[in-house]
Amino acid sequence: METFTMIKSRRAIRQYSGQITDEQLQQILVAANAGSAGMGEFENYRLTVIQKPEILSQLNGIYDAPTVIVVSGKSADLMTGNSAGTMVHGMELAAEDQGLGANYNMACLSSIPVGVIPDGFQPLFAITLGQTSEKFTPREVPLDRIKTNIVK
C-alpha cells in the first residue's frame, strides 16, 4: 500500500477473526526494530509478544485480540515513552500494510501478570493484533482536526 494512502486508511480495529502468522509477526517485529530509540540505546527496551491464551485472558481492554505486543523500557521518562510510541506506530503500520487489524493499547498495561515483562523493565505501550475482515479505505482527513500554529 502506498504510504500516504495507508496513513489516511489506518483505523483502530477491535474485532479480530484469527491469529497472525509467524511470517506476519516477523514483519511487525522488523518494523518495531526500525523505530527510534532515544540516544540509540535500544538495549533499554524490550518487546514482549503475548499469544498465550491464559495470559491474554488476564489482560484488560484487548478486545479478544490473539496477539498483544508490549514495548517496555528501563524507565518511564518522556524520551523513553516517545521512543516506545515510534516502535508501536511502526508495528501498527506494518500490520495494516499486511491487511491485519491493529489497535494502540495502554489499557492492558496495568493488568499484565507479574513475570511476563522482563525484570528491570516497565510496560510503556502495547498494540493488539489479529486477522480482520475489515477493509482499509482512505478517508478524508480535515486539516483543522488538530488546531495548528505555524510560526514563520
All structural domains of the chain: 3-130 (3.40.109.10)
Question: pLDDT for 22-31, tens place per residue?
Answer: 999 999 999 9
Question: pLDDT for 118-145, tens place per residue?
Answer: 999 999 999 999 999 998 889 999 989 9
* Alpha carbon distance 108, 53 (integer Å): 15
Residue 1 has pLDDT above 70, yes or no: no
* Alpha carbon distance 70, 128 (integer Å): 9
Which residue blocks in the chain are alpha helix, DSSP H?
Answer: 3-9, 22-33, 53-56, 78-97
Percent of the chain with pLDDT over 90: 82
Residue 5 has pLDDT above 70, yes or no: yes
